[in-house]
A and B are shown apart, each in its own frame.
Chain A
């Protein structure tokens, strides 16, 4: 039987991603006037690729059992943080700051809508299961 919660887990990961990204973008906006600060972002493509390749948790690859595993805790922060990249649109101001405030506000809004969309889908997925459990009543 397929894993009942497979889809829910996937949505959960997508929400994790959006949550972390919100934090990152907020940090970029907060540091819009900090000299030398470099804007950061999360790479969704890498995130999705890794998931589709079945490498769900994006762990560190270990070649020996004495190596320290990345996800020793259930905290899913570790898997997302490996995807952190410097923002590629690299337009530096004179003070070394690369934050483009308009772009960041746009990303913030997009990310929030994405989050809303995924959480709505998650709700519907849960409601489907509820319907099944209640035998369609």
Chain B
């Protein structure tokens, strides 16, 4: 039960949500990118979260103290590519159009991205609140006996 464990937990979530925000920004920025380094259109990226497990030392301590659990918060497990198909748009004048005149546009849906962005920013706020509450609890302990 370390003093700043709760803050570290919330901070890990802040980091994870920030990474998510970065990826969403990347998706929106590339919503019309028809040509990447590999020659394919841009593929939408998704962040996958997982519960962060403690370090080896923490787990050893936990076993020695008969299950005094510690928590690690959350971490970004992977950034995967959305396998859904590209959007086909008829535009024969486009330099990336195929022989039938269709252009493959990225599988980014701006509306979905905006919704995810709001969700990420709200989750960020929730964790900030959690940090503030932990902070007020810590300051309160300093005042015990005053």
Contact = CB atoms under 8 A, between A and B. Distances in A.
Interface residues of A, number: 45
B13 A29 contact: yes
Contacts of A26: 6, 9-10, 71, 73, 127, 130, 134
A91 interface: no
Nearest to A21: B6
Interface of B: 1, 5-6, 9-10, 12-13, 16-17, 20, 48-51, 64-71, 73-74, 119, 123, 126-127, 129-130, 133-134, 136-137, 140-141, 143-146
Interface of A: 15-16, 18-20, 22-27, 29-35, 37, 60, 68, 70-73, 75-78, 80-82, 84, 101, 105, 108-109, 112, 115-116, 119, 122-123, 126-127
28 contacts: A16-B1, A23-B6, A26-B9, A26-B73, A26-B127, A27-B71, A29-B13, A30-B73, A30-B74, A30-B127, A31-B13, A32-B13, A32-B123, A34-B49, A35-B49, A35-B50, A70-B66, A72-B65, A72-B66, A73-B65, A77-B69, A78-B66, A80-B1, A82-B67, A101-B123, A101-B126, A112-B137, A119-B141
